[in-house]
Structure 1
């Protein structure tokens, strides 16, 4: 419980997800300082396999800031050995006490296959991986402040695993109802970090067009489509990038007030913290949006 309690205090209500293309290290340092100055509790960064390696990225941004928590959303379990995952997180948590949150996920089959690896059962893979991380704890540094370990969990079975073997779950791109059900499944003692994409655009056509451009539902083997079916959406709702109803449920779009209202709905439904992600071509554009949203979110 120590990692959960500590994280709830340090993360705050809302964090910023910087899921933008590769940029120079100095740009990332500047971005981290701007987000911290805007008052967000955390900065979250993602990882595929190769390119922007998540622990190196986190270390650059931790060194550039003083207060804000840095989190992985997610560190890809196919990108490194589980003992390396445990060791890397432990080193950063030791160097920056209380400022690391580790989110891990199984990614998507097509991405894994492209890296030359063989896709296997996501649930089995995650269970074996977390067990191997636990087995590596004794060989890793012991941070003064324990870091929370979160599992990217959309479906009920992965959420059960998150409840059993981690400090909580980190689902993304799901409706508020999914957050409510996830909290019921996790119980009150686990962290629930929800990633929600915000599109600062008041035109319904433009906003929904941007949302469909993410290919959330058209990716081969999309776990998001599967989870939406579990919530009662049918094939017609998920076709062609998603119906207006699906897009409006999964994405927060509109002006600052409207987006702030949706974030609050996730918090009211049981989220401990919402990672707000934006869709922007570069870091400066993302930062402009976060600074516009900050007065209503933090």
Structure 2
């Protein structure tokens, strides 16, 4: 079976993102076990440059669980040489057959510059990086089950690269219309994994106020702003953390039934899998919210 076929079978339709920056390893293991027992298909973790290194993190959680898929959403290409990316993913996929998904991302300019590196064209950088990964395949272990390679992609050019050079795309924080357009561009034979933030709050003002505290639309050179402009949102809609329409399109908020309905819209629009993230101060609180959602999602 191909990496795409294997991933569709193993990931299931719903996963969770555990994005808390720093926590002891035991807390990560406990949270991962709770998500596996709740029935989710995958756990997604992220990284910047430095700090919590994503492959080490994935290894800790793979070792502490039995069946759930662990994925990077995403592994920052500025954090390692492309041969190291290929080698690390191959080692984990060999050790835990069928349980690794590799999401690769080009990050954002302010993060890269803060790490002491020089920001360059994201598309050119990703192409060059994928060339380096491909050149390193023969030197890496060969897993018995192929792992999917996904690109964090918000714009149509990166979506095209995901279609041509990867197993699919992994966009985040975008409206349902974006999911529909990406599926059309990718075609039926590529994976589309969508990351969405959830706010379990039924008061509209409170939910939207919380969403506007995130830096998604205020970061310098935000790729989210560019992508939303491509969907037709104007400067007024994107100002001051986003209009109500923008916030409601990019964030899932409400009670459990409302969350399930919005997740279903992304699946109906062509997503193979939706990974959900929540805003909590610690991993235990995140696991509490995901356990609360599991009966309506799974």
Residue 21 of structure 1 deviates from its aligned partner by 2.5
Look up the SS of the partner of 1:101 in the other structure. Answer: strand
Q: Determine helix, strand or coil for the equivalent of 2:150.
A: strand
Gaps of 5+ in 1: none
After superposition, residues 63-82 of structure 1 pair within 5 angstroms as 63-82=63-82
Q: Which residue of 1 aligns with 2:4?
A: 4
Q: CA deviation at 1:285?
A: 1.0
1:209 is displaced (CA, Å) by 1.3
How far off is 1:20 after superposition? 1.1
Q: What does residue 224 of structure 2 align with?
A: 224
Give the 3-state SS of the residue equivalent to 2:116 in structure 1: coil
Question: 2:289 aligns to what?
Answer: 289
Question: Are 1:41 and 2:41 matched, yes or no?
Answer: yes
TM-score of the two chains, using structure 1 as the length reference: 0.99
Aligned pairs for 1:141-290 within 5 A: 141-290=141-290
Alignment of 1:105 with 2:108, yes or no, is no
- In 2, the alpha carbon distance for the partners of 1:99 and 1:274 equals 17
Q: How does 1:80-119 map onto structure 2 within 5 Å?
A: 80-119=80-119
Unaligned runs of 5+ in 2: none
Cα pair 1:21 1:281 within 8 Å, conserved: no
How far apart in 1 are the matches of 2:157 and 2:189?
Answer: 18
Shift of 1:31: 0.4
Q: Separation in 1 of the partners of 2:210 and 2:46?
A: 20
* Post-superposition offset of 1:297: 1.0
C-alpha distance in 1 between matches for 2:40 and 2:21: 21
| 8 A contact 1:21–1:282 mirrored in 2 | no
Q: What's 2:30 paired with?
A: 30
CA distance in 1, matches of 2:214, 2:50: 20
Partner residue of 2:128? 128
In the aligned structure 2, how far is the partner of 1:213 from the partner of 1:101? 30
- State how many pairs are aligned: 298
CA distance in 1 between counterparts of 2:201 and 2:68 reads: 28
| Aligned partner of residue 15 in structure 1, secondary structure | strand
What SS does structure 1 have at the residue aligned with 2:79?
coil
Query: Structure 1 CA distance, aligned partners of 2:297 and 2:53?
Result: 29
Distance 1:108 1:245 in 2: 25
Whether the 8 Å contact between 1:32 and 1:64 is mirrored in structure 2 is yes
Deviations 1:246-288, CA, capped at 9 Å, x for gaps: 0000000000000010000000000000001111111111111
Question: Quick one: distance in 1 between partners of 2:251 and 2:154?
Answer: 16
Q: TM-score, normalised to structure 2's length?
A: 0.99
1:103 counterpart SS class: strand
Give the deviation of 1:215 after TM superposition. Answer: 1.1
Q: CA deviation at 1:227?
A: 0.2
After TM superposition, the runs of 4+ consecutive aligned structure 1 residues lying more than 2 A away are none
8 Å Cα contact 1:77/1:129 also seen in 2: yes
